[in-house]
Amino acid sequence: MTYCVAMCVDEGLVFLSDTRTNAGVDHISTARKMSVFEQPGERVLVLLGAGNLSLTQAVLQALSEPTEPGKPTLWTVATVPEAARVVGDAVRQVYQREAQALQEFGVDFNCSFILGGQIESAEGGAASAPRLFMIYSAGNFIEASSVSPYFQIGESKYGKPIIDRVLTPSMPLDEAAKCALISMDSTLRSNLSVGLPLDLLVYEKDTLRVTRFVSVDQDNAYYQMIHRTWGEQLRQVFSGIPDPAWENSGDVPLRKRGRAPVVSPHEASDNLAGHADMQPAQTLAQADAQKKQR
């Protein structure tokens, strides 16, 4: 499995991915899920992939080694949305070739991608703002926005809460990178299918080149500080929150095992009184006795 996260803030983009792959507990290995398409001064595109490793690598090969002359590629498209369409087309191409054979073996066609970056304007002017897209296994895609400025693929649930609580488009780029690392650390803590080393790329808006990239392993001092401090701070905050104040807030809804709820004769009378077709003063025992006398 894997975990990849990418964030789009006013100052640029953050990309983070783990490298663990596995096909069972006896077959754990590493493979990079991040690929960078860079032409310094002209374009930077970063692709993160999750899902079946053979499928994500097949898509990456189709993107890196196009076989149809004249067809748009990640090196020739003029905008990032066009680049997202190129990735979607490559996913569909792999689907047409592989999906039926996989289905015969009971294997789902499972892959998804995050693509982000910035491309210089075709007219030679200023580049448009950095943009971020998520591409699904059907080849369709959506774009990040100021309302939801990030995407996750893979084991996303463990690292999602911290991002939802702190990430905003106005957050400084370094703080967004810190948020991504904490999100990854939370995932590593709870899921063994995600593991070190990590690939972290931080793209500064309008630079049109990669200036900040690091491979984070077990010996990385900053990551170890994040891992240690985040746990300590969480425990301190937890201890600082008051314990529940237990007050009587109503009767406990007790039920006896294997029996209907116990109702007193008085309560039964009150309950029957609201029904016009019932005789509230007459219990079932009395009615049965009257029948026997007849």
pLDDT digits 0-9 by tens, 30-50:
999 999 999 999 999 999 999
Instruction: Name the one residue in this structure whose structure tokens are 């314990």.
Output: 243
Of 97, 130, 279, 95, the C-alpha closest to 203 is 130
- Strand locations in 168-230 (E): 198-204, 212-216
Strand arrangement of the beta sheet that strand 212-216 belongs to:
150-154, 3-9, 12-17, 198-204, 212-216
**pLDDT > 90: what percent of the chain?**
75
* pLDDT at site 250: 74
- The phi and psi torsions of 117 (rounded to 5 degrees) equal 160, -160
Structure tokens at 238: 């937890």
Every domain of the chain and the residues it spans: 3-239
Q: Based on the number of CB atoms within 10 Å of its own CB, is 53 exposed (0-12), middle (13-18) or buried (19 or more)?
A: middle
* pLDDT at site 139: 98
* pLDDT at site 23: 59
| Omega within 30 of 0 (cis) for the link into 197 | yes
Count of C-beta atoms within a 10 Å radius of residue 63: 24
In angstroms, rounded to a whole number, what is the distance separating the alpha carbons of residues 40 and 261? 75
* pLDDT less than 50: residues of the chain: 272, 276, 278-281
- The phi and psi torsions of 257 (rounded to 5 degrees) equal -65, 125
* pLDDT at site 123: 74
* pLDDT at site 260: 56
Structure tokens at 257: 């095992």
pTM: 0.85
Q: Which residues of 157-184 are buried (b: 16+ CB within 10 A; e: fewer)?
A: ebbeebbeeebebebebeebbbbbbbbb
Q: What is the topology classification, in CATH, of domain 3-239?
A: Glutamine Phosphoribosylpyrophosphate, subunit 1, domain 1 (3.60.20)
pLDDT digits 0-9 by tens, 123-152:
766 788 999 999 999 999 999 999 999 999
